[in-house]
Copies of this chain bind each other. A is one copy, B any other.
Amino acid sequence: MRYNIQELESLRDFYADRLLNNTVPFWFPRSFDYEHGGFLLMRDATGELIDDDKAVWIQGRATWLLSTLYNTVEAKPEWLEGAKLGYEFLINHCFDTDGRMFFHVTRNGAPIRKRRYFFSETFAVIAMAAYSKASGNEEAATRARALFGKCVEYATTPGLLEPKFEPTRPAKGIGVPMIMLNTAQQLRDAIGDPRCDALITQWIGDIEKYFVKDDIRCVMEQVAPDGSIIDHIDGRTLNPGHAIEGAWFILQEAVHRNNDPQLISLGCRMLDYMWERGWDTQHGGILYFRDVYHKPVQEYWQDMKFWWPHNEAIIATLLAYLVTGHPKYAQWHRQVHAYAYTRFHDKEHGEWFGYLHRDGSIAQTAKGNLFKGPFHLPRQEWYCRQLLTAHLQKSSV
């Protein structure tokens, strides 16, 4: 069943209220590290700090969030002050001498671990771009554009980063085109960059050509260089939440390009296929991994429910509904919204738990760790608020 205007208004108010009165206040200002810069984000359910280390992905993502709230919701000095702490920690402590970034550093910025991937870099790009817009700091914009250039180079130059696997069975993942697509979108929206449109077109083309399999209604997580399915355990493993996140990046691009019908079709197909494969019809929620041929998935925790696929599905279903008006997407949005806010949300202390067992019981109580922090949930609440606000304004004209 479709949403009526009153329902959309109350959804808008719900997301805005949760974002500003529940999620963001869980993290800030208490996580600002005035002593060493950056944020102290590894927190238990109650907010108690369980580790003062800093995950570089999350330092960048939190900087992006605070800057984006400042740019789009309210010019609150506290948010800009926090964003500055994050930006300065990133540029002063998170880069190695070879220009690559670390993955995990101590509270005062000494390196613990560097990884082969360049996702620390992509999150720093969106952080720097949004911070530049918020602060007017031109150096941040220059840095964002230069680092984006490096990411493009890493993404397109085979062998530039040390590979994890031997060359026997080459594979490529959907992660790189997906995250580069969104990085380019964020960079373009915040500070503009003439490279972005063509690159976005190319990455979306790669996703469609290599990873989307219409014949079996599936989005692959990795494939051989020619796009064929690698019929081994890893090659068969699907990540429905990840593909659904990719779906809304593409739907967002469709909107940006005056509701481009081919992009709408592509984003909706990706969402449809992976909702069918990922939604747990027995217990509700989105299963973490699936096998393309329904064989056992190697990862033993494959049937857990993680917070972030639900954030991505909440965005994707709402966006698909607003773009197409198809009642199926309203229904899915209701379903995933109800599941997620019932199961993940911590009614006592705010924010969401990160990890549920398949049956929906809580597996682990931390709100922040090396991988979870103020990103997927506040981004979802912020994005849905923005989307609904714009939609309702348009409707009332």
Contact = CB atoms under 8 A, between A and B. Distances in A.
Given A50-B233, A51-B233, A365 B166 contact: no
Interface residues of A, number: 41
A370 B298 contact: yes
Interface in A360-375: 363-366, 369-370
A297 interface: yes
Interface stretch (A26-34, A81-89, A107-115): A107-115
Interface string A213-233: 000000000000000000011
One complex includes copies of this chain to the number of 2
A303 interface: yes
A353 to B, nearest CB: 10
A169 interface: yes
A306 B301 CA distance: 11
Given A112-B168, A166-B112, A169-B106, A50 B300 contact: no
Nearest to A235: B51
Interface in A330-384: 354-355, 357-359, 363-366, 369-370
A295 B51 CA distance: 10
Given A300-B306, A369-B298, A232 B51 contact: yes
A304 interface: yes
A46 B334 CA distance: 39
A50 B295 contact: yes
- Interface-central residue, A111, A114, A164, A166, by most chain B CB under 10 Å: A166
Nearest to A300: B355
A50 B365 contact: no
Contact of A357 (B106, B112, B358, B366): B358
A365 B303 CA distance: 12
B112 A169 contact: yes
13 contacts: A44-B296, A50-B296, A51-B233, A112-B169, A113-B165, A233-B370, A296-B364, A296-B369, A297-B364, A298-B366, A300-B364, A301-B363, A359-B359
